[in-house]
Amino acid sequence: MQYSSAMAGLRERKKQRTRRALIDAALQLFARKGYADTTLAEIAATAEVSTRTFFSYFSGKDDLLFHDGEERMERALALLAGRRPGETAGALLLRLVEAGFGWALEDEALTFEEAELRMRLIMAEPALRARALLLMYDGQLRVAAALRQACQDELDEVEAAAAVGALFGAVKLAVMAHLGHDRSLKDIQTTARRAAELALDGLRALDTPPAEARQGATRAAGRVPVEPPGMAS
């Protein structure tokens, strides 16, 4: 225990380089041959390390694609911990969603191409989809716990969990279902906002289709009147 955690030794720098080399090698191979058809041996060889070494950097082949999740999570938890004085639980959660978009966009160290490749791989490979969902799920549990902490006496455990589950569940499914049609970042963001608004307002807001009372004060955002009025299969 010579020096503290924030070191700059050669050893540490080398490890970071190897880590990047593994990720880059993997992404490149995945892009070229697909996820399933790329072996760990190939990845390790391309990154110039032994196959065994791979496992001291990542817990498995899939872990490679989800290496930056923890950092995001910590920022999310920090945001929740920094709840503003008069802020309601709903507003706090909404702020988290918006902040998440900001983080995703301003993320250096992750080009658009990489992000898109990753998304394509995840959608194509069930194993990766499952892993992604697991991370979301575990993350939501942590967010729910943090929300409960931030709102102490206002929310019980079930309410906090339900709120988080509803909000992110809505956003997730809406974005995923909408994906495949278009892929403009802007459109996705709009979709996510609509879904979030819907979760905040409650599903019953959908129960009055014959135009009326749909302009609740909180309904100001998103919601461009774009869809064709009539439609059938």
Partner DNA sequence: TGCAAAATTGCAATGAATGAAATAGAACTT
Partner DNA sequence: AAGTTCTATTTCATTCATTGCAATTTTGCA
Interaction site with DNA (CB under 7 A): 2-3, 9-12, 14-15, 18, 38-41, 48-53, 55-57, 59-62
Shortest reach from residue 40's CB to DNA, in Å: 4
Nearest in space to 159 (alpha carbons), one of 176, 178, 173, 145: 145
Shortest reach from residue 118's CB to a second copy, in Å: 17
Residues with Cβ within 8 Å of 27's Cβ and at least 6 positions away in sequence, in order, are 114, 117, 118
Nearer to a second copy, 110 or 141 (CB): 141
Shortest reach from residue 21's CB to DNA, in Å: 10
Ramachandran category for residue 167: left, alpha or beta (phi over 0 → left; psi -120 to 50 → alpha)? alpha
Residues 42-81 contacting a second copy, CB under 8 A: none
Q: Which of 113, 116, 157, 182 binds a second copy (CB under 8 A)?
A: 157
Query: What three-state secondary structure class fits 104?
Result: helix
Nearest in space to 49 (alpha carbons), one of 70, 26, 65: 26
Shortest reach from residue 46's CB to a second copy, in Å: 27
Among the listed ranges 17-25, 28-36, 41-49, 131-139, the one in contact with a second copy (CB under 8 A) is 131-139
146 is a site residue for a second copy (CB under 8 A): no
Residue type, 41: A
Shortest reach from residue 73's CB to a second copy, in Å: 16
152 is a site residue for a second copy (CB under 8 A): yes
Give me the residue label for tokens 């289709």: 209
170 binds, among DNA, a second copy, none (CB under 5 to 8 A by kind): a second copy
Reading the block at residue 98, the tokens are 């918006």
Four-CA torsion 183, 185, 188, 190, nearest 10 degrees:
-140
CA distances 195 to 19, 104, 191, 224, Å, are 37, 18, 6, 13
119 is a site residue for a second copy (CB under 8 A): no
Nearer to a second copy, 24 or 222 (CB): 222
Nearest in space to 168 (alpha carbons), one of 67, 93, 88, 81: 93
89 is a site residue for a second copy (CB under 8 A): yes
In the complex, which residues of this chain contact a second copy (CB under 8 A)? 83, 88-91, 93, 126, 129-131, 133-134, 137, 140-141, 144-145, 149-150, 152-174, 176-178, 191, 194-195, 198-207, 209, 218, 226-228, 230-233
